[in-house]
Chain A
Amino acid sequence: MKKFLLAALLLAATASQAAHHEMGHMHSHEGHVHDTMVDGQKLSVDAERFDNFVSAVPGDQIVVISVQGMVCDFCARGIEKTFGKDSSVTKIDVDLASGKVLLAYSPDTEIDRASIEKNILNNGLNTTAIQVVEK
């Protein structure tokens, strides 16, 4: 009986997830990329995601971190937890598909690149670029 319940649970979970993904594909949120230039470098972030993020925190400073080794949700959660401890961070978004972490800092904060890198490293990941977006 226990086995049957478990099997049923697994099946249900897979089926509901498959349905969810079909819906996601109709909106097609992967693909096109923001091509704003920051520090002479292209900002490769999903445009819709970036715009949603920015419009939620008007007036805040936006930092885009390019990260290596970010392959699963444990990485993403760790990053949320680590940066969540910093009270000057007002919003966090992790995009696994592009390997980017978006951070919003309150307007008067001085962005400390070394501490950002350290926080990323404390999650077992490496930073390849930190871009502060001028608005």
Chain B
Amino acid sequence: MKAIIFICSLLLASNSMSRPISYVGGHTLMANSGAQTDNIYWHYTPNINYSLGLDYQRDKISGEAFPSARLTYLINRKNTATSQRNLYLKTGIGLDNSTNHFYALAGDWETRRLFAGFSAKQVSGMGYELFEQSVKLGIAPYLGAYGDLHTWLMIESKKDNLDDRRITYPVLRFFKGGALIEVGYHKKTDWDVHLMYRF
């Protein structure tokens, strides 16, 4: 049971496909609150190719905590005048128990108007293995200037090998200055709130 909770919490927490690497010297703070877990994740970008972070998760039901260390590596980036495309390798390891770990391949493509992202993730912990795939698509209904409130209407879909059923749900993203809030809702997983602040 503990392992399943751990796996679920890892899934929820590293689910976000928004900007896992900042500018050089930049810090990012994220907080997630979902049906099963809450977590706080901080990362620092020492170099344009990677970011290092610490994550602390707490299971809402059991009250158990799962601290982990994380690394995100930028495999490839393609910038054009109107778009940015990224491919990332992400990995995390439990600080209490190093058998808990995950690695993921994630990518995104974004213009000021459109967003598309995917993630494929392998999570292992205490004898459990889990593979999850997800995609996320978004559109900005209006184009704000720098400093305005930006709004994204998004849809996310994911599937894993434990619960062999695809779930698809709407996500609203609001973005202003260094702050981003994402709210997703699915009748099975209830509300999922994601906050992000970059400084």
Contacts and interface: CB of A to CB of B under 8 A. Distances in A.
Interface stretch (A35-43, A53-61, A119-127): A119-127
B56 interface: no
A69 B79 contact: yes
Given A13-B149, A97-B143, A122 B24 contact: yes
B57 interface: no
B93 interface: no
A58 B109 CA distance: 40
Contacts, number: 96
A10 B174 contact: yes
B112 interface: yes
A81 interface: yes
A121 B48 contact: yes
B127 interface: no
A71 B198 contact: no
A125 B26 contact: no
Interface of A: 3, 6, 10, 13-14, 17-18, 20-21, 68-74, 76-79, 81-82, 94-97, 99, 121-126, 128
Interface of B: 19, 21-26, 48, 74, 77, 79-84, 110-112, 142-151, 172, 174-178, 183, 191, 193, 198
